[in-house]
Amino acid sequence: MIEGLAAMLIVLLARLATGVRAEWRGTGPERRRRIYFANHVSNGDFVLLWAVLPPAIRQTTRPVAAADYWLSSPVRRFIAERVFRAVLISRSPRPDEPHPVEMMADALAGGASLILFPEGTRNTGEARLLPFKSGIFRLVSKLPEVECVPVWIDNLNRVLPKGEVVPVPLLCTVTFGEPLTLGEGEEKEAFLARARAALMAAAPDGGDRDGEADGNGA
């Protein structure tokens, strides 16, 4: 099938361009429903994370991506819908459109895992992480049994700087940290702070270069 060939090509190109290696530090690759939540510094983030997953897990893992970007051309639409089977959400949904959290919850309820970025937008500043938006908390509130796995993507912003289309050949790592689940009665602020700390801990230096106060998004 053309979708399968396209997926193989994307994985091959991602690996050749970045020399990426996966580091499963806090957990192992398991065929179970999960939310892989990662830092966001490049348009290629979810591609790289998706590419390093073992094939059997990759087949059931769906990135959450912006509909306006991925539906802007026939090629992007094909890749998003047929290759990645992405959950395409509107960044400004109309009242008659499905809510993004409901769309993600439906995908999880159907047996898929998800890749998402709780910062909500690309981080182009000096801070290691932007404050987390509330979407991940609202999602796990609907399915508290689903495991959330922090994933730190390192070096990709240098491989593919903003505005560039030709990658710079540098090595990248994708580090999978220790999973967490929503605690019974845990409030939004506490969960977001705990998830943010878990993602920082998954960084190669354990977040030692952060030097900023933790913060949460609304």
What pLDDT is stored for residue 215 in this prediction?
A: 44
Burial zone of 16 (CB within 10 Å; 0-12 exposed, 13-18 middle, 19+ buried): exposed
Question: Which tokens in the block code for residue 6?
Answer: 């396209």
- Whole-prediction pTM value? 0.88
Task: Tell me the domains of the chain and their CATH numbers.
Answer: 2-202 (3.40.1130.10)
Nearest Cα residue to 192 out of 139, 151, 133? 133
* Residues 6 or more apart whose Cβ sits within 8 Å of residue 56: 31
φ and ψ at residue 202, rounded to 5 degrees: -80, -15
With beta carbons less than 8 A apart as the criterion, state whether 198 and 180 touch. Answer: yes
Q: Helical H runs in the chain?
A: 2-18, 45-52, 55-58, 67-70, 74-78, 100-109, 135-142, 156-159, 188-202
**104-157, pLDDT tens digit by residue?**
999 999 999 999 999 988 887 788 899 999 999 999 999 999 999 999 998 765
Residue entry with tokens 């591609």 = 47
What pLDDT is stored for residue 208 in this prediction?
A: 61
Per-residue pLDDT tens, the chain, 218 aa: give them: 799 999 999 999 888 888 888 999 999 999 999 999 999 988 788 999 999 999 999 999 999 999 988 999 999 999 999 999 999 998 777 788 888 999 999 999 999 999 999 998 888 778 889 999 999 999 999 999 999 999 999 876 565 555 555 555 567 899 999 999 999 999 999 999 999 999 999 998 776 655 444 444 43
